[in-house]
Amino acid sequence: MSARLPLLLRQLRSPQLPGRPRLLRALCRASSGGGGGCGGGEAPLGQQRLRDSQAGSSRGPGSRAPPARDSIVREVIQNSKEVLSLLQEKNPAFKPVLAVIQAGEDNLMQEINQKLAEEAGLNITHICLPADSSEDEIIDEILKINEDSRVHGLALQISETSFSSKILHALKPEKDVDGVTDVNLGKLVRGDAHDCFVSPVARAVIELLEKSGVNLDGRKILVIGAHGSLEATLQCLFQRKGSMTMSSQWKAPQLQSKLHEADVVIFGSPKPEEVPLSWIQQGTAVLNCSHDFLSGKLGCSSPGIHGHSLIAEDVSLLAAALRIQNMVGSGRRWLREQQYRRWKLHCLKLQPLSPVPSDIEISRAQTPKAVDVLAKEIGLLEDEIEIYGRSKAKVRLSLLERLKDQADGKYVLVAGITPTPLGEGKSTVTIGLVQAMTAHLNVNSFACLRQPSQGPTFGVKGGAAGGGYAQVIPMEEFNLHLTGDIHAITAANNLLAAAIDTRILHENTQTDKALYNRLVPSVNGIREFSKIQLARLKKLGINKTDPSALTEDEMRKFARLDIDPATITWQRGGCWCPGGRMAHGNTEKGHSRQAQFDIAVASEIMAVLALTDSLKDMKERLGRMVVASDKNGQPVTADDLGVTGALTVLMKDAIKPNLMQTLEGTPVFVHAGPFANIAHGNSSVLADKIALKLVGEEGFVVTEAGFGADIGMEKFFNIKCRASGLVPNVVVLVATVRALKMHGGGPSVTAGVPLKKEYTEENLQLVADGCCNLKKQIQIAQLFGVPVVVALNVFKTDTRAEIDLVCELAKQAGAFDAVPCYHWSVGGKGSVDLAWAVSEAAHKGSRFQFLYDVQLPIVEKIRTIAQAVYGARDIELSSEAQSKIDRYTEQGFGNLPICMAKTHLSLSHQPDKKGVPKDFILPITDVRASIGAGFIYPLVGTMSTMPGLPTRPCFYDIDLDTETEQVQGLF
């Protein structure tokens, strides 16, 4: 909106006329000189037509009685109202909005638009600019309306001379209800009138002529003084009616002769006084399309002159009604686009090479689509994405409100057998599956992945974007900063850690009064509590808002958290640290304490991000995070420290899922990245929820759980599904022949070292023995009542007999199906069979159930997971773990789900125990609480929450070509 003028929503002021209680009449009368403008002493057009009719003393054979224009207007508006009512039956909250950008004052036209919109049931807003507004000022308003998803149509009431190409190009065609843009005109000329907006003015001309009984076939039509889109539209419409169309300007020397030839004359602009009406033949139909928007006057046709009989009609009122009809059509189209539909996705072609190049070479050989193009293809609106560079964007959460009535698609989880150093390829299977579904089966599908931590990326693993011809691109951006979410988490995590130490320091060095005065200072003579301080007062039961009204005891309670340093559970965070403990220096007035680092993706803030479902929910979860206990054993939260708002500010962008694409141009959400061995190991609830809406009822969302089914899948079901309320349809369980051989007793392997012959040659016995792990993981999924499809990720060393054996044993173990997959070497077409199997299993139906009741005691929930999932005989609690459990139970946190922090390399707590270990006791060495995230997490065995870097990290090989700016050595 221009800074000079506010947004005006005009209320109708004109009185109702007898007999027409709900229809506005345009008040207009021609000047005595026959000019085209409205003058004073206005009268209803209906009365004007009556006088015109009475004034005509004779009619030629070609003359026609004036049409009942007002009845046509009523018919159009009633039709629009009925169509809108039908749309609102299924979408009660839907009410289309028409925006009119107007340069200059035109109160009468505002009243016409307002009245007709109200009659039809639309909302309308007028943006009134000064008459001398510049081109750029008009374009600024257009661009704002373009990006406002609440507005479904935009009309421009500006002078003809203001309709520059620059203004027309700024107008979004799908909101162009006046049909003035090149896109809408082009579709009309090509014969696609059903798929475009046609000028309401031009349509009004045709309607009035045909309803007047004028047969247009073979008639000579003269359009005078029209320009641009109106002239082109009139010519197109008349030609389709079989008319012969001529165009002329008012000053053309041949105008008089053309007027003598014409059967119908259309005024596209006001008639100059120097053009006499005697030039127009008796009985000629004359319609006036002109409208001087800057003067606020309707350009009305002249009355009949003695000796002439004219059907003189102004089309402005009918054109306004037809614009309303276009608006309803725009709203209907918008609603249709919100419903489930098959995406018109331009998939990228693959040209697989053999042997398969490195992942980075494959990624760089494919040019991704611009992310705004991808967003539009999958139904996102322009104002629902925030673009980061060319190939990634954040998606705003407002989308969930827009699509709240949309049915969800099918929900598929990809898990795996117990992983080995060889890698099983869950991410690769996830990407291959969605490439198969969307690029090859034309089914809407979305992949939802976690963002990789830079610790593994620069440490031991390299890239984590999938692999081969099934990966997310560009892989460098996927694996590095992406859009900065992990940096935001690290900053928020360390801000909270600093707040803890700051509070302890100042409480230890200040009196109650001094501490209180600094916490609630006087600013410009005003002393007041902040919003979060008022919340703390309420929590303490102090119902006062005046800082000076607190008693000394109340001030002490408010000011002192009395944190017990021995109970602090909140650690500093980073993507890479050597691990171990650190000591704060004693420079802060002699105070120090021991602390340590956790890896950033193990921060509770990461878990909060992954499990939240809205910005409001995230703020509440951040505030509930417990960082320590006070000296009375009560929990101390981020809210108590007063830092919740600041944490939310740091996380406000990180909460939005990141949109990327696969090698074949299908959509991917990359969001959140909690480790599955330390945290709950799943991508965000928000990414899944948004994707389920976007794919529609017949589509599929494929999300991945970290590590084996005993860890990532169990936490997906018991933690993530409780938080989201979503019910999974299928589990895809990933296995490889060579990993099964290792579980069957094959020799140990080291990443990067050539494989021994057991893994490169056929060995059916090792495969059969190793399938015990696959069978166990299938049984774990069956505990939750979800059908399982086994995806055998095939390598070139696998033999047909080994592949068939795995598939047969998997089905014997209860899998719905087992399918070999070749996406790594050929892309999505190598997983088409898997896609069919997943689709069939999804339609079979899920009988999903949780493993345990959260109301069970903490110890019993831990024991249930250990025995039912891991196969342990029992659990063993350390004294520290038991003490923590007792404390959390006393503090009211005993009814939360459990998130086991356990090695991913074995079903047991011992990494070297492959296959299916039996009869072991699971040691619980410590227990922590993530109250904001909403779970208790026990530490099993010697589990570390801060993995260190290896002797030779990957960063030795990672470099940047300073000439091309290409990353080198990243996988």
Structure tokens at 956: 């030795």
- Interior CA angle at 207 toward 202 and 213, to 5°? 135
Tell me the helix, strand and coil percentages in the chain, rounded to 5. 40, 15, 40
Q: Which residues of 843-871 are buried (b: 16+ CB within 10 A; e: fewer)?
A: eeebeeeebbebeeebbebbbbbbeebbb
Of 570, 576, 824, 920, which is the active-site residue?
824
Within 10 A of 941 (CB to CB), how many other CB atoms are there? 15
Place of tokens 């299908």: 666
Catalytic residue status for 873: no
- Please tell me the distance from the alpha carbon of residue 923 to that of residue 885, in angstroms, as a whole number: 14
Q: Are 701 and 689 in contact (CB under 8 A)?
A: no
- Please tell me the distance from the alpha carbon of residue 461 to that of residue 459, in angstroms, as a whole number: 6
- Please tell me the distance from the alpha carbon of residue 548 to that of residue 260, in angstroms, as a whole number: 92
Q: Using only C-alpha atoms, what is the Rg of the chain?
A: 36
Catalytic residue status for 428: yes
Of 203, 219, 271, 450, which is the active-site residue?
450
Within 10 A of 539 (CB to CB), how many other CB atoms are there? 11
Angle between helices 182-190 and 228-240 (to 10 degrees): 10
- Please tell me the distance from the alpha carbon of residue 249 to that of residue 20, in angstroms, as a whole number: 38
Of 241, 364, 461, 722, which is the active-site residue?
461
Structure tokens at 121: 């049931």
Of 676, 679, 791, 813, which is the active-site residue?
676
Of 197, 597, 669, 707, which is the active-site residue?
707
- Please tell me the distance from the alpha carbon of residue 391 to that of residue 319, in angstroms, as a whole number: 43
Catalytic residue status for 741: no
Catalytic residue status for 955: no
Dihedral, CA of residue 334, residue 336, residue 341 and residue 345, to nearest 10: -30
Of 428, 438, 648, 945, which is the active-site residue?
428
Does the CA dihedral 763-765-766-770 come out positive or negative?
A: positive
Catalytic residue status for 461: yes
Of 175, 392, 426, 557, which is the active-site residue?
426
Catalytic residue status for 707: yes
Catalytic residue status for 848: no
Catalytic residue status for 426: yes
Straight-line distance from the first to the last Cα atom of the chain, in angstroms, rounded to the nearest whole number: 50
- Please tell me the distance from the alpha carbon of residue 243 to that of residue 523, in angstroms, as a whole number: 79
Q: Are strands 470-473 and 466-467 parallel, antiparallel or unpaired?
A: antiparallel
Q: Are 448 and 472 in contact (CB under 8 A)?
A: no
Q: Are 704 and 449 in contact (CB under 8 A)?
A: yes
**Among 588, 623, 394, which residue's Cα sits nearest to residue 496?**
623
Bridge partner list, 923: 876
Of 163, 795, 850, 955, which is the active-site residue?
795
Q: List residues with catalytic annotation.
A: 426, 428, 450, 461, 676, 707, 795, 824
